[in-house]
Structure 1
Amino acid sequence: MLWRLLFIALIGGAQCTTSDRCPAGGDLIQTTVKSFQSSTVNDYHPKRAIDGRTDTCAKTRPNSQDNSTWWKVQLSGVYQISCVSIFSKDQNDTIMTGAPVRVHIGSFNNRIDSKICTHITDFNRGQWNNFTCTEQVSGRYVTVSLPGTRPLILCEVKIYGKRKDLINTTNSITSQSSNYTNTEGVPYSSGRATDGNVTACAHTIEMEAEHWWRIDLLGVYNISRFSMYNKKTHNTNITGAQIHIGNSRENNGTNNKICANMTHFTEEQWNDFTCAEQVSGRYVTVFFEGERPLVLCEVKIYGNKKESPFELIKEKKTWEHALEYCRERNMDLATILNEDDQTLAELEARNADTPFLWMGLHYTCILEVWFWVADHRLEFNRWAPGEKTGDCDRSAVMERVEGHKWFSKSDYAEFNFICQKF
């Protein structure tokens, strides 16, 4: 059979080849977690498409009605998919023309958040067919579906891509509205949701008006995806919960932006949620309203950490000497222009040796204004009540304790300080 370039509708491309290695690159993704299909003929179960053998195949029954047959694999995490390779035997009923290759999240029937990697407009039997996703698609599930009444036969499927950035929550701090304790005295504490064990769950107490679970990532992250797994037992369907992400702990984190509403949740599988808009923050909160308890068996969060420009200096100096110290080292006293800057500075401040820390905010008597020494106007602020005074020889400090409000202090006081790298 001659090699030929296959034309792919919409957003994909494919090349038939004797090699299972996709030309688009990416790492071969291990596909040994779970696989499913619309129906099964005899022992042609879905795992036969990922068993490493091209002589054994997964096969569905033909449909009596004009509905799609499908095969789906669950990956071990969320991946950015670059290419899908498919091999089927050289026999009549392995024709795949018309099958869309989908990369999506959620259950198979939930296509609201799915994206098509490619449509198969032609398929060469008896050799590898490589399908490249030209649009960036990412997810935990890869699905091949075949419209019409024909059976779907897949002898081997290989998937290539890069794992999305999974945030390490080993040292993060978790908390929740209450701790359920079983009859043996075992507390179902918040940390069970990040212990790597999907059978051990965090669990709040029933009959409360509101339930929440929160994690402090101890850093500011651009969050791309939030994944949750619950085993199937009493009260583990948490459809209706909300995910909040931001830098505030007020109202247990529910003042932060809503990343996603869980309009659909399925037990015994990973449920992946993407934020409607790009959000960043230190805290992730799951909020569940009503008397039913909030149960979370395992939580995984994906995103990129924002690098902090700040450096805590544990030396006691006056404001002017602190400014000189920073500038002699090609830095400046800290400038805080938004919530993320404030949070990153707070993470430095909590390790200080003094109750307050100098920042680069100074009051000038000549102009009678507060200004940042890095030449920025004062817009964002976190002043404590009554502290924004107009006295000469004063500069701003951040308090070390929780809240990290700003205070006005004499330039001649000696505190630790925060330098900023540029």
Structure 2
Amino acid sequence: MAAARKAAYCVSFLMWILADFTAESLENVALEGIASQSSTAYLGVASRAVDGNRDPEYSHESCTHTVGGPNPWWSLLLPVVYRVTTVGITNRNVASERINNAEILIGNSLENNGNNNPRCAVISSIPSGGTKTFNCTGMTGRMLTIKISTSFGILTMCELEVYGELAAPSPSFSAVVMGRRVAVVQKKLCWSDALLYCREHYWDLLSVRNEQEQRGLEEVLRNTTFLTNDPSVSSRHVWLGLRRRLMGSSWFWMSGASMSYIYWKEQHIWQVTSPCGGVDADDSFYWSNFPCGDHLYFVCLKEFEENGSRVEFYSFTRQ
């Protein structure tokens, strides 16, 4: 009986914590994201929904508007993965019924503009010019999508707010390399798990596209204290997003970036069996291949890049 009472108390205490963990105590992270939508009409661009202005009057240029058609959607790509507590949506003061039955989706899949992600809530209705808050109970993701499944619809909003906290990734050293935000992650993983970790918490394993970015990466690695203070041999090797085609000799970046610049340690690197690549974090900083199963530190690119098309990757060994 005592154990049952204790369990009931833990559940009720947890529910109290969730109820008290209100949006007011968290930051609106939507302002940091990149908005897009299925189409645009009457200059109602997607970014208007994350301009920090709840004004419901369309003529004041703070509301979005899609073209009328089947299955309209609006998506927000956040800079990193968040644990989303609530989502607030402000409706227009006219034609308020247009948002009825829209779905709020949250997850990490970027496929189909986030339309394949799990559902947080269905918007039955929002009063004209009003703001309604939806509880997402800590769903984790960096892509939020509003979609209406209908043969003909128009999606319009005047503000969307996302309240949550950073999903807790491993400690990392953050820096900027030629305008690109990167994180050297203080966690040793095999290449495939490192790739999936970057895609879950940030954007991708880092690609190096030119000599300036290579020199910037070298400077970052020299200043990463957990690398320089780690006495193990593996600390001198760091995973990048380098991959060799299994049925060929060519290498490519998983981010889809061009391989026009190379900095290999070996001239004929493809002749070595391992198809996974990284950088020697010593004075040379040459690229090299390492056994894919080696557990190494790795470098993530933290933000979405418009140029390039990421290579899909699936791991059947990840725990």
Q: Please indicate the TM-score interval, normalised by the length of the shorter structure.
A: 0.5 to 0.7
Alignment match, 1:135: 16
Alignment match, 1:295: 156
Which of 107, 124, 148 aligns to 1:246? It is: 107
Counterpart residue type for residue 298 of structure 2: I
Alignment match, 2:65: 203
In the TM superposition, what is the alpha-carbon distance from 1:289 to its structure 2 partner?
2.0
- Between the aligned partners of 1:408 and 1:338, the Cα distance in structure 2 is 11
Structure with higher Rg: it is 1
Alignment match, 1:400: 255
Return 5+ residue gaps in structure 2 as ranges.
Answer: 1-14, 57-61, 178-183, 218-233, 236-240, 258-274, 289-296, 301-319
In the TM superposition, what is the alpha-carbon distance from 1:409 to its structure 2 partner?
4.6
**Counterpart contact for 1:241–1:289, Cα < 8 Å:** yes
Range with bigger deviation, 256-265 or 409-418? 409-418
**What is the SS of the residue equivalent to 2:148?**
strand
- Between the aligned partners of 1:209 and 1:243, the Cα distance in structure 2 is 17
Alignment match, 2:95: 234
Task: Tell me: higher relative CO, structure 1 or 2? Use CA pairs within 8 A at least 6 residues apart.
Answer: 2
In the TM superposition, what is the alpha-carbon distance from 1:194 to its structure 2 partner?
1.1
Alignment match, 2:139: 279
Number of residue pairs the alignment of both structures matches: 220
- From the superposition, tell whether residues 285 and 163 of structure 1 become closer, same or farther in structure 2 (CA, over 3 Å): same
**Counterpart contact for 1:334–1:419, Cα < 8 Å:** no
Deviation sequence 1:30-65 (CA, Å, 0-9, x none): xxxxxxxxxxxxxxxxxxxxxxxxxxxxxxxxxxxx
Counterpart residue type for residue 147 of structure 2: F
**Counterpart contact for 1:177–1:204, Cα < 8 Å:** yes
Which of 38, 44, 49 aligns to 1:188? It is: 44
- Between the aligned partners of 2:36 and 2:128, the Cα distance in structure 1 is 23
Alignment match, 2:34: 173
In the TM superposition, what is the alpha-carbon distance from 1:138 to its structure 2 partner?
3.8
For normalisation by structure 1, the TM-score amounts to: 0.42
In the TM superposition, what is the alpha-carbon distance from 1:264 to its structure 2 partner?
3.6
**What is the SS of the residue equivalent to 1:225?**
strand
**Counterpart contact for 2:108–2:117, Cα < 8 Å:** yes
- Between the aligned partners of 1:300 and 1:223, the Cα distance in structure 2 is 11
RMSD, aligned CA: 4.6
Counterpart residue type for residue 287 of structure 1: K
**Counterpart contact for 1:237–1:267, Cα < 8 Å:** no
Alignment match, 1:349: 206
In the TM superposition, what is the alpha-carbon distance from 1:332 to its structure 2 partner?
5.5
Equivalent residue runs for 1:56-75 within 5 Å: none
Alignment match, 2:59: none
Deviation sequence 1:257-298 (CA, Å, 0-9, x none): 1111223433332211112x6421111110112212001111
Structure with bigger helix share is 2
- Between the aligned partners of 1:176 and 1:263, the Cα distance in structure 2 is 21
**Counterpart contact for 2:27–2:163, Cα < 8 Å:** yes
- Between the aligned partners of 1:332 and 1:138, the Cα distance in structure 2 is 34
Structure with bigger strand share is 1
Deviation sequence 1:118-150 (CA, Å, 0-9, x none): xxxxxxxxxxxxxxxx9346489xxxxxxxxxx
Alignment match, 1:255: 116
**Counterpart contact for 1:310–1:419, Cα < 8 Å:** no
In the TM superposition, what is the alpha-carbon distance from 1:168 to its structure 2 partner?
3.1
- From the superposition, tell whether residues 397 and 137 of structure 1 become closer, same or farther in structure 2 (CA, over 3 Å): same
- Between the aligned partners of 1:292 and 1:195, the Cα distance in structure 2 is 24
- From the superposition, tell whether residues 341 and 347 of structure 1 become closer, same or farther in structure 2 (CA, over 3 Å): closer
In the TM superposition, what is the alpha-carbon distance from 1:214 to its structure 2 partner?
0.7
- From the superposition, tell whether residues 238 and 411 of structure 1 become closer, same or farther in structure 2 (CA, over 3 Å): closer
**Counterpart contact for 1:248–1:256, Cα < 8 Å:** yes
**Counterpart contact for 2:172–2:186, Cα < 8 Å:** no
Equivalent residue runs for 1:1-400 within 5 Å: 135-136=16-17, 138=19, 163-181=24-42, 187-197=43-53, 198-199=55-56, 200-206=62-68, 208-234=69-95, 236-275=97-136, 278-290=138-150, 291-308=152-169, 309-311=171-173, 331=186, 335=190, 336=193, 341-346=198-203, 349=206, 353=213, 387=245, 399-400=254-255
- Between the aligned partners of 1:266 and 1:341, the Cα distance in structure 2 is 40
Alignment match, 1:76: none
Return 5+ residue gaps in structure 1 as ranges.
Answer: 1-133, 141-160, 182-186, 316-325, 358-372, 375-381
In the TM superposition, what is the alpha-carbon distance from 1:303 to its structure 2 partner?
0.6
**Counterpart contact for 1:193–1:201, Cα < 8 Å:** yes
- Between the aligned partners of 1:191 and 1:339, the Cα distance in structure 2 is 29
Alignment match, 1:94: none
Counterpart residue type for residue 148 of structure 2: F
In the TM superposition, what is the alpha-carbon distance from 1:178 to its structure 2 partner?
0.6
In the TM superposition, what is the alpha-carbon distance from 1:305 to its structure 2 partner?
1.1
Counterpart residue type for residue 201 of structure 2: L
